[in-house]
C-alpha cells in the first residue's frame, strides 16, 4: 500500500537555510514569501497531497523544524 507523508513545520523556528528544499526529491518545498517572527522566510510545502513521507527534508534540517508522519493512502 502506498504511503503519504504529513509534514508539520515549525515556521517560527525555521531560518530559511533551504537544506530541506534541496533535499526534497519531488521538489515540494520552497521558501514562503512572508517572514516569520525572526525575520526569515520559512519553508512551506507547495502540494501536501504529493508528499511521499521520505523524510529527507527532516533529516537535512539542522534545527529539527520539520516533523514527518507517514500514513496509508
DSSP assignment of 7-55: EEE-TTT-----HHHHH-TT--EEEEEEE-TTS-EEEEES-GGG-----
pLDDT at 60: 97
pLDDT at 39: 96
> What DSSP character marks residue 73?
-
pLDDT at 41: 97
Please, what are the averages of pLDDT over each run of 10 residues along the chain (73 residues)?
85 97 97 96 96 96 96 74
pLDDT at 71: 80
Global pTM reads 0.88
CATH class label, 3-72: alpha beta
Domain boundaries, the chain: 3-72
Amino acid at each position: 500500500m502506498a504511503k503519504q507523508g504529513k509534514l508539520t513545520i515549525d515556521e517560527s523556528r525555521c531560518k530559511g537555510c533551504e537544506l530541506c528544499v534541496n533535499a526534497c526529491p519531488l521538489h515540494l518545498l520552497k521558501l514562503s514569501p512572508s517572514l516569520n517572527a525572526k525575520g526569515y522566510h520559512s519553508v512551506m510545502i507547495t502540494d501536501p497531497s504529493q508528499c511521499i513521507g521520505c523524510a529527507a527534508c527532516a533529516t537535512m534540517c539542522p534545527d529539527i523544524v520539520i516533523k514527518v508522519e507517514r500514513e496509508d493512502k
